[in-house]
Structure 1
Amino acid sequence: MTLEINSALVKKLRDKTGAGMMNCKKALQAAEGNFDEAIKILRQQGLASANQKMNRNVTEGLIHSYIHAGAKIGVLIEVNCETDFVARQEKFFELSNNLAMQIAASPEVRYIKFEDIPKEIFDAEKEIELKKEDLLDKPDDIKDKITLGRVEKTLKKLSLLNQPFIRDPNITIEELIKEKISLFGENIRIRQFARYTLGLHND
């Protein structure tokens, strides 16, 4: 027997996730009416469909500017999509603004993704970790494993895609973008960004 779902709950889930009404209804039925579980189901579906689109070419989009309250921090970000139709949508503008706000709130972030971090930074951090006292007496294989884990954890703080989303810390920026790829049906990519702080030199 199919569980009957209240239309108000379906609308609430649609407003929360941006997914289609039928997808929301099916997710709620699969979750037996559990709202939080339905969100997880939609996110899993979205991530799966987004992965198939992430290699598609992006030639449209926008450059968005954000000035934080007090006018002492500013961000410029280029966010790309596949068509001008998506680039002109309010939800795409909202995504770009949220990404800019994330950068404004994340002074450590310098790169878009973890793979962009230069090898010399990785090597320098690894050398620091290897010299820590709690690793000196450990076997080399154990030492290397612990060191790699620590270095990755430290350096992911520099990567925008690895940051918890400030509006929903349960997901990362990478997961947020994948959700929007699923929503828009197009690939979305952060091309570049710059963060400006009053009185500081910006590279």
Structure 2
Amino acid sequence: MAVTAKLVKELRDKTGAGMMDCKNALVETDGDIDKAIDVLREKGLSKAAKKADRIAAEGLVRVALSEDHKEAAVVEVNSETDFVAKNPEFIEFVENLAKLALTTKNTSMEDFMAMSFDGGTVQEALTGKISKIGENMNIRRFQKFATPGTVYTDYIHGGGTIGVIVGIKTDADAAEIETLGKDVAMQVASMSPRFVNDNEVDHKWLEDEKEIARQTLINEGKPENLVEKILPGKMKSVLKEVCLVDQKFVKNSDQTVEEYVAESAKALGKDMAVTEMVRYEVGEGIEKKEEDFAAEVAAQMGK
């Protein structure tokens, strides 16, 4: 079959690969577009492998909500540079992944990567983006929420550097709790609580924090007999900082988040309680590579 310019353009539109790559793939497959796509994906895998050792610590967080706000999903996708994170194609890719996460019952990344997406799988789509855009990328994590009796709200900060989902257990609808939900989600974004309330506090984390506090007091020269007396009050203060409902409400420091929620519930005449939350921040916990621009230029000149 003759490889026409129209056929090359069609393949390029579908894959985003270079013009000559598309032409060569079509020649190799005798003009069969589906087989040519497979060839390009295989070559994309090769290109992606070369980029896999690059650190992808920039990127984007996106949230998707069902129409009734009774389901929610969040996803983080990393790229090497902030420039790519602002690329419209990359943004659309992450937004579509969040929408896909909203439909899934999978909890493992392996299962998510194998889901059908954009004419192939999520993994194949990611490989295609790496090949086309030319940077290492990584779908780092995702989470889906769908607890019965819960209404979800979200907040995206900094264009997608931080994404938050908050779950409110209530019989109110999404419109009725919109302001409350947004306020609490912004609280999570700004104050980074670790837990919703003290019932969720991880025992090991608490014991580790208690030991740190104990050693700090000892290092400050506090007598041993006083340390154990001071410790309970100190830990109470720590819990107020890390538990969302016990934090001072950022929009009114005269009340806690729990008091703000109770006040709003009373005004609406419906029960409300914050029961779930998640906060994703792009690149948190990823060790970023320190770039030495002068050394990089010198190395390039020495080639």
TM-score for both structures, normalised by structure 2: 0.46
Question: 1:160 deviation in Å?
Answer: 1.6
Distance 2:70 2:18 in 1: 39
| Structure 2 gap ranges (5+) | 151-274, 278-303
Q: Does structure 2 retain, via aligned residues, the 8 Å contact 1:165–1:176?
A: no
Kindly indicate whether the alpha-carbon contact (under 8 Å) linking 1:63 and 1:79 is maintained by their aligned counterparts in 2: yes
8 Å CA contact 2:75, 2:101 repeated in 1: no
Partner of 2:116: 165
The CA distance in 1 between the partners of 2:25 and 2:127, in whole Å, is 18
Specify the alignment match of 1:197 in structure 2.
146
Contact kept? 2:2, 2:30, Cα under 8 Å: no
Q: Secondary structure at the match of 1:80?
A: strand
Query: Is 1:182 the counterpart of 2:131 in the alignment?
Result: yes
Alignment RMSD (CA, Å): 2.1
The answer to whether 1:74 aligns with 2:25 is no
| Residue in 2 that maps onto 1:44 | 42
Match of residue 85, structure 1, among 70, 83, 99: 83
2:30 to 29, 32, 35: 32
**Cα offset, 1:167, TM superposition:** 3.4
- Give me the whole-angstrom Cα distance separating, in 1, the residues matched to 2:91 and 2:66: 17
Give the structure 1 partner of residue 187 of structure 2. Answer: none
Q: Which of the pair has more CA radius of gyration?
A: 2
What is the rounded CA distance, in whole Å, between the counterparts of 1:38 and 1:166 in structure 2?
19
CA apart distance, 1:194: 2.0
Give the TM-score normalised by structure 1: 0.67
Q: 1:105 aligns with which of 103, 112, 132?
A: 103
Question: What SS does the corresponding residue of 2:109 show, helix, strand or coil?
Answer: coil
* CA-CA distance at 1:79 after TM superposition: 0.8
Alpha-carbon shift at residue 191 of structure 1 (Å)? 2.2
Shift of 1:69: 3.7
Of 16-25 and 191-200, deviating more is 191-200
1:57 to 55, 74, 78: 55
- Whether 1:94 aligns to 2:92 is yes
Deviation at residue 20 of structure 1 after TM alignment: 1.3
Separation in structure 2 between the aligned mates of residue 17 and residue 181 of structure 1, nearest angstrom? 12
Percent identical:
38
Secondary structure of 2:51's counterpart equals coil
Aligned residues: 152
Q: Which consecutive residues of structure 1, in runs of 5 or more, have no partner in the other structure?
A: 114-158
SS at match of 1:52: helix
SS at match of 1:19: coil
Shift of the alpha carbon at 1:198?
Answer: 5.1
- Seen in structure 2, the aligned counterparts of structure 1 residues 71 and 166 have a Cα distance that, compared at 3 Å, is farther
| Residue type at the aligned position of 1:50 | A
Superposition deviation, residue 43 in structure 1? 0.9
Separation of aligned partners in 2, 1:62 and 1:112: 17
Pairwise CA distance, 1:202: 5.9
Instruction: Give the drift of 1:89.
Output: 0.9
- The structure with higher relative contact order (CA 8 Å, sep 6+) is 1
- Quote the offset at 1:172 in angstroms: 2.6
Distance in structure 2 (CA, Å) of the matches to 1:43 and 1:81 = 19
Q: Report the CA distance between 1:68 and its aligned residue.
A: 3.0
- Considering fraction of residues, name the structure with more strand: 2
Report 1:107-186 matches (<5 A). 107=105, 109-113=106-110, 159-161=111-113, 163-168=114-119, 171-186=120-135
